[in-house]
Each structure stands twice: as C-alpha cells, then as structure tokens.
Amino acid sequence: MAYHSIQGLAHGRLDLLNQLRTFLVTTTGWTLHDDQSADPQPYFVFKSHGESGAEDVYLQFRISTTSGRIHVAAFQYWIAATHTGVNEASHTSYTYLRVEDSADFIFWLFADLDHVFVVTKLVSTYYGHYSGLLKRFWSGAVALTQAAVTAGSGVVLQVNDATVVTPGQDYVIKDDAGIERVRVSAIDTAATPNTITVETLVRDYASGAKIGEDPQPVVNSYYNAPGTFYAVNKFDGWTSASGQQGRCGAAHGGLQGETDPEMRYGTTILFPWLASMSGSAAYQELRGELIEIFSVGGGNVASEDTIQIGTDSYRVFNLTTGGWCAVKE
C-alpha cells in the first residue's frame, strides 16, 4: 500500500476515532482486528503486517476516562477473542491523542502500513502523536520456526532460513505470547529444514515464531511527539508497559536555526528524528528514526505551510514541545 494523508474536521473525540478507523482501514489498508465501538469506553485495535508484509503491529485507540484524550497503546499481540493484549507499551498519563471531547477541531492523519502520525490543532496549539514501526537501524530479516520448540539448553530450532543469523551473536525470538534474547551457538544451512541452535531458551515458542536482530520495533509516543516514547520491546525483550522507554532527538546538532533558510539558495533543510532507547545505561542504544517525519528550523515556514522537495510534499507544524516538524503528505 502507498503512503496516505488527509486533513479533516472532527466533531469531538468520538468522531475522530471513527474517522481514524475509516482512514486506517479503508484508505491505508490496516485490518480492524477488534471492534469494540459498543464498549462504554469505545476502542478499536488495528493490525498491520507492515509495508514489507513481515511485521507485527497492533495499535489500540480508545476513548479515555480522562477528558480531552484518546488513549493509545501498542502491543506485541492482541487476542481479539478475549479482547486482551500481550505485552503492552503505553502509559495512562502520556500516550494519547490530545483532542476536544465534543467541540470541533482540525486534525491531520499521516500513515502507511508501518506507522501512523496524528496531528491535532486545539485553538492555535498543535499536538503530534506517533505510533507504529521505527525505520530500524538493525536488520528486519527474520527466520521463522517450522515447529514448536521447548525451553531448555542447547535447543535446536527448525527454521525456514538460518542464514539470517550468525553463530556467536545475540538475537531476539518472539511469538504471539513471549519474547526473549538468545545467543546462537550454531546453524545448519544444509539441513532440511535449516536449523538454528541457541544456548538457552527460557520459555516455549510456537511454530511460526520469529528470530532476528529486531523483529518488532513498534513504539507508542507521548501526546506531544516527537519526544518520549515507549517501545513494545528492547533488545532483550519486554519488562512492563512503560519499561522500554525511549526518546526522539532531531539530528541537527542545534544548527537548525542557521540552516533555515539555507542562505545560498533559500531552501529549508529537513533533518531526521532519531529514536534511541533511554533510561538505564544497560539498555541505551540508537534504535532507528521516525518514518517520514523531519525536523526543520521554522525560520522559512509557518505552521500548515507545505515544503515541496521534488515530487514530495511535506506539511509543517510547530508542535508543542516537539518543535518544528515537516511531515510527508
């Protein structure tokens, strides 16, 4: 599916929730995985396998019990039959869309099958929220287990392709129920199917489990993104809903004010928003960058302006806390 964007007017937060459903499912191609529009706190869970078709993205948008909010949560997996999530990434105080309960407000939606970015305008203030995959710096290649495996030492996994891993290196294995970090001790690419041997496996995994460098780089941001976010997992798995904290920083080195406009040709420079895992030093790493969202200086533009670069158009917003951003339309 292609990249899509719309601007619209919402008549309160429930209207935005419904318009978001139409945009993601009908326009962009996400699956409506769980429709709980009749719930006292209406919500939808959307699922995507990403632009590559090999990803796992589960996002829930729910009318919050707190006014002015649509709560957002990301999950490793969502069980639609029981309306329950596995390994949530969210925070009740921060991961939400900033909205009006019943009054009209303007919004912008930007999405592909990898991510969704929502901008809302309340009076004259712009709020942004990012959820979905990062443009990862690690490989997205995964090996799929061909049979269920049992926890233990020296565990041999039958996989479709063992060439995506290297003996002596650490990887992440996940299925719909669990996730952990494992060290690969050996591979056999001559066997049919291929096999991967791991030193230790803490829990059992189902057939179809994925093993790779970064098989699910899904994040859920604060209401005033770009800034702090929570990831579904870090390099060694999941701890708690807010246990995988990260943050975004613009790769401009503080020079954005001197490069916008760039004096030689009066152009606006777009800098990527980098995403890193923060918190304890044991978990710090530069994980990737936001998809199609860039930092700009603001000296050559105003909010809601567009910047044209070749055939691509970018909408500019001065987001609260997040600062000047240009988002691909």
Q: How far is CA 275 from CA 118, 177, 220, 272, in A?
A: 18, 26, 12, 10
Let me know: does 65 contact 42? Beta carbons within 8 Å: no
Strand 271-277 and strand 245-250: the pairing is antiparallel
The β-bridge partners of 77 are 86
Q: What is the pLDDT along the chain (329 residues), one digit of tens a residue?
A: 589 999 999 999 999 999 999 999 999 999 999 999 999 999 999 999 999 999 999 999 999 999 999 999 999 999 999 999 999 999 999 999 999 999 999 999 999 999 999 999 999 999 999 999 999 999 999 999 999 999 999 999 999 999 999 999 999 999 999 999 999 999 999 999 999 999 999 999 999 999 999 999 999 999 999 999 999 999 999 999 999 999 999 998 888 888 888 888 888 889 999 999 998 888 999 999 999 999 999 888 899 999 998 899 999 999 999 999 999 99
Instruction: Decide: 113 and 50 in contact? Cβ < 8 Å.
Output: yes
SS3 for 212-223 is ECCCCCEEEECC
Contact 313, 306 (CB under 8 A): yes
CA distance linking residue 216 with residue 129, whole number of Å: 19
Question: From CA 23, how far away is CA 63, in angstroms rounded?
Answer: 17
